[in-house]
Amino acid sequence: MRIGRHASPTQFILAGLIGCSLLLWLYWINPATAGSATWSKQLPVVRTVYFPATGHHLSNRVGFLDFWRANGQLHTFGMPISEELVIDGRIVQYFERARFEYHPEYAGTPQQVQLGLIGREWLAHQPTIPPPATDTAIGAFFPETGYTLRGEFFEFWERHGGLPVFGFPLSEERDENGTLVQYFERARFLYRPESLAPFFRQQQAIYGLDLDSLFEVQIDDLGLQIATLHGINTTPVARLPGAVDWSPGLWSRRIEVDLARQYLFAYEDNLLVFSAPVATGRDGFNTPRGDFTIYYRLPQQTMSGCLGGECWYVPNVPWVQYVVGGVALHGTYWHNAHGSGVRMSHGCINLRIDDAQWLYEWADLGVPVKIY
């Protein structure tokens, strides 16, 4: 079945009917309009959010909203650029970097929402096919497609979703107009080394570590390009009654730090939306256990002090969020022991730089932090 075809008039009518059903749901779940009708309480509560920047909604009617929240959000998929559409009998929605597809045959399972093969579709419209791998001994070779993954792209692919989110590689790394790119079944990666600040690049050389910024590897806007190629209507629509602007603050956010596992988890209500390895306080400087909140934040700070007969001076510590006393969540550039079980800090919760930035952009003052 091909998803990426021009939507017919019948399909747009179906999409309009879906929109009408959403309006009815929003009407009935609004306390101001529900009245005393007890049967309306049995209707599903469907959260619908709106993105003013693109003029489109994202709903949990078929699970798209929760899938988006749990798998990288803006960083991975971008914003919605269409409403839900019915194309070839399947509900789909286009995003800047992806296409979501609803598979009712897998309802209630992790496969209910799947990502369209927009990388394959894009390459099918290109004049040349990427040549096969010539050196399969370096990196990870995928016999399914005949290509390899290595370096920064491999690390990003593994850490941000792997096969379910990006699919198999469909090319080797290649230069396109001066930018290193690689194609996948569901995405195209771009390498932006300039996004790692010069200071951290210098520290990377000094310590011999691989440091990453949040945007060193970027996911290109193939969703938008495929939507344009297939004539999908991306015109902004009016906000539905009751739909609020998207923000992580719409849900009850919380952070949990598991000292035994040396791992951090971030939740919106009960939905896990982010996890990352950490390195916490070593013996004598143990990270305190308890329930705290983020009370002070800085995008960068020079940390210095003396405690327990030790003194330190650490410039340009990135993405700092204090939770109790002098204990903070922050990025580190002087070690890569995160998640290894080796506790390195003077009590703070150390994260990789890109993980610390994601968490900083997602969190806010007052977000609860449970350390156990």
Residue 288 has pLDDT above 70, yes or no: yes
| 267 vs 306, higher pLDDT | 267
The per-residue pLDDT for 44 is: 47
For the ranges 37-46, 186-195, 338-347, the lowest mean pLDDT is seen at: 37-46
Q: CA–CA distance from 319 to each of 142, 299, 332, 333, 364 (Å)?
A: 36, 4, 9, 12, 12
Q: Is 230 a catalytic site residue?
A: no
Q: How many residues does the chain have?
A: 372
Query: What is the DSSP-derived secondary structure letter of residue 207?
Result: H
Question: Which pTM was predicted?
Answer: 0.85
Under 8 Å between Cβ of 82 and 232: yes
Return the pLDDT at 137: 72
Of 191 and 309, the structure prediction assigns the larger pLDDT to 191
Q: Which of helix, strand or coil describes residue 276?
A: strand
| Dmax (CA) of the chain | 75
Contact 244, 238 (CB under 8 A): no
Tens of pLDDT, residue by residue over 349-364, are 999 999 999 999 999 9
In a 13 Å sphere around the CA of 315, the CA atoms on its Cβ side amount to 4
The number of CA neighbours under 13 Å toward the Cβ of 326 is 13
58-108 pLDDT per residue, tens: 999 999 999 999 999 999 999 999 999 999 999 999 999 999 999 999 999
Work out the burial of residue 339: count CB atoms within 10 Å of its CB; fewer than 13 is exposed, 13-18 middle, 19 or more buried: middle
pLDDT 10s digits, 30-52: 333 333 333 334 444 558 999 99
Band of residue 159 on the pLDDT scale cut at 50, 70, 90? very high
Q: Give yes or no for residue 22 having a pLDDT over 90.
A: no
Complete domains list, the chain, with CATH: 9-120+225-245 (no CATH), 140-220 (no CATH), 249-371 (2.40.440.10)
311 labelled catalytic: no
pLDDT of residue 30: 36
Q: Please pick, among 230, 330, 338, 346, the residue that the annotation labels catalytic.
A: 330
Single out the residue of 41, 278, 71, 89 nearest to residue 161, CA to CA.
71
Amino acid residing at 303: M
- Report the distance separating Cα 121 and Cα 109, nearest Å: 26
